[in-house]
């Protein structure tokens, strides 16, 4: 399996993957501005980065992605990664691509790799448990949105 860093040429696929992920989660109306996403990911001051996964048998096919940004833990005193999205297209599931994406993230930091997941997603819960990941207890997530 091939996992690589996304490039500006991947922006349309990245946006398509995000929109497909949103539809999978029940938000069918999400449509992203490709030019804005290109600026966010590959502009002068990038805000995030993306890993792209390809299946073994088709290096041109985009099977999935991990959408991330760097963090810095004050309590650990080291950098980590926040993974905002991990998504593998249905046709490519059960081939180890999600595990490959997660392994690639783990290789990029000796700090924390963190993410959130919707409650009740039993398949994701089982997958993350197989990796050795555990839920964070004792913390409440807040959002301040304008």
pLDDT (tens digit per residue) in 29-83: 999 999 999 999 999 999 999 999 999 888 889 999 999 999 999 999 999 999 9
First to last CA, the chain: 40
Run of H or E residues at 67: strand 64-73
Q: What is the pLDDT of residue 68?
A: 98
What pLDDT, in 10s, does the model give residues 68-123?
A: 999 999 999 999 999 999 999 999 999 999 999 999 999 999 999 999 988 888 98
Q: What pLDDT does 98 receive?
A: 95
CA separation for the pair 23, 94 (Å, rounded):
20
* Predicted TM-score (pTM) above 0.85: yes
**Can you list the domains of the chain with their CATH numbers?**
2-131 (3.40.630.30)
Set 24, 92, 128, 142: catalytic member: 128
Catalytic site residue 92?
Answer: no
Instruction: Give the pLDDT confidence score for residue 118 in this predicted structure.
Output: 87
């Amino acid at each position: 399996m091939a996992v690589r860093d996304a490039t500006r040429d991947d922006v349309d696929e990245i946006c398509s993957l995000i929109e497909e992920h949103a539809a999978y989660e029940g938000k069918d109306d999400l449509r992203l501005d490709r030019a804005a996403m290109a600026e966010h990911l590959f502009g002068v001051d990038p805000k995030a980065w993306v890993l792209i996964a390809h299946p073994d048998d088709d290096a041109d096919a985009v099977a999935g992605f991990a959408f991330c940004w760097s963090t810095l833990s004050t309590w650990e005193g080291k950098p980590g990664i926040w993974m905002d999205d991990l998504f593998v297209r249905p046709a490519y599931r059960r081939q180890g691509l999600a595990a490959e994406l997660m392994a690639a993230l783990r290789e990029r930091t000796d700090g924390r790799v963190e993410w959130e997941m919707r409650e009740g997603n039993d398949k994701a819960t089982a997958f993350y448990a197989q990796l050795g990941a555990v839920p964070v207890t004792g913390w409440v997530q807040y959002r301040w949105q304008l």
